[in-house]
Amino acid sequence: MPLISGNEFIWGSRTYSMGIINVTPDSFSNDGILNNIKKIQSKAKLFQSLGSDIIDVGGESTRPPNIYRNFTPVDENEEIKRVLPAIKAIKDVVSIPISIDTYKASVAEKALSAGATIVNNVWSIKNDDKMNAVLSEQKPVIILMHNKKNSEYINLIDEIYDSLNHMVENTLKLGIDSDKIIIDPGIGFGKTTNDNLIILRHLEKFKEIGHPILIGPSRKSTIGNVLNLPVNDRLEGTAASLAISISKGADIIRIHDVKEMNRVAKMSDAIIRGWKNE
């Protein structure tokens, strides 16, 4: 079983959770913290105390700019300026692994040097020789997420499956060990609301690829569209999405509402995997 930053992850034993800390002014979920180290450290410590297993740090909103307003892409220097102090500060106060949420090679490289041990790249390893070089040299844990620039599919599940499988093969060619690969079908990225619902309905299909599955529906527009609710009122929709995902084989949940969703995961695990009254 893999060790990440000295922490053991036994896939299948329980659901692990990744708490989101956005060091941005324009996070779609309205939870961004920018340039406030004390707040960042406080949130990281809180997340760990509430049971987070990983903290995911992002310095640029990855929401599609054609769908959401008030979003400005940032260059790599600005992103580095945001995430490096945050990663160093978080590393000082928690013992759980830190993930860097970026698709830029230079950001990933500096984040790994600062203490991150996981790269969560919404564009995975597609057509980016610089990122591939960083991954090949540093050999971090990598989250391979399915993404595309449109939402046109002939067979949604098969196409995502084939894409993820191909990405796994290419990642192995970079010299990254198989047990350092996590896959993510990419809820909300290059998919319609109905596509996202179909993915959640058929999530068990991706278990056949043979790697842990991360799922991230937290507060996303699919929930807002189904329930007709704003981004800060999607707790129940997120909970339902995660409970179903866990029943379908999700290994890691990426979440904003750490206390509530870890309770959802614990209850789901008790039903699905069995409960020990200890």
pLDDT tens digits for 6-19? 999 999 999 999 99
The verdict on residue 2 lying in a domain is no
Tens-digit pLDDT profile for residues 160-178: 999 999 999 999 999 999 9
pLDDT value of residue 127: 63
The residue behind tokens 């596509």 is 195
The verdict on residue 197 lying in a domain is yes
The stretches of the chain forming alpha helices (DSSP H) are 37-49, 76-93, 105-114, 129-138, 156-173, 193-201, 221-227, 235-247, 258-272
The verdict on residue 71 lying in a domain is yes
Q: CB-side exposure of 68: number of CA atoms within 13 Å?
A: 20
Whether 142 contacts 171, CB under 8 Å: yes
Catalytic residue (one of 91, 180, 191, 220): 220
The verdict on residue 8 lying in a domain is no
Residue 107: CATH number of its domain: 3.20.20.20
The verdict on residue 5 lying in a domain is no
Q: Which two tokens stand for residue 187?
A: 């809820």
Judge if pTM exceeds 0.85. yes
Whether 52 contacts 262, CB under 8 Å: yes
Query: Which residues have C-beta within 8 Å of that of residue 112, sequence separation ≥ 6?
Result: 100, 119, 134, 138, 140
Q: Is 82 annotated in the active site?
A: no
The verdict on residue 23 lying in a domain is yes
pLDDT value of residue 26: 55
Task: Provide the sign of the torsion angle of the four alpha carbons 56, 60, 66, 71, taken in this order.
Answer: positive
Q: 5 — alpha (psi -120 to 50), left (phi > 0) or beta?
A: left
Give the number of domains in the chain: 1
State the Cα–Cα distance between residues 213 and 205, nearest whole angstrom. 11
Q: Which two tokens stand for residue 212?
A: 């842990």
Question: How confident is the prediction along the chain (278 residues), in pLDDT tens digits per residue?
Answer: 578 989 999 999 999 999 999 998 755 444 556 678 999 999 999 999 999 999 999 998 765 544 444 456 788 999 999 999 999 999 999 999 999 999 999 999 999 999 999 999 988 766 688 999 999 999 999 999 999 989 999 999 999 999 999 999 999 999 999 999 999 999 999 999 999 999 999 999 999 999 999 999 999 999 999 999 999 999 999 999 999 999 999 999 999 999 999 999 999 999 999 988 76
Q: Is 220 annotated in the active site?
A: yes
Range of the domain at 46: 14-271
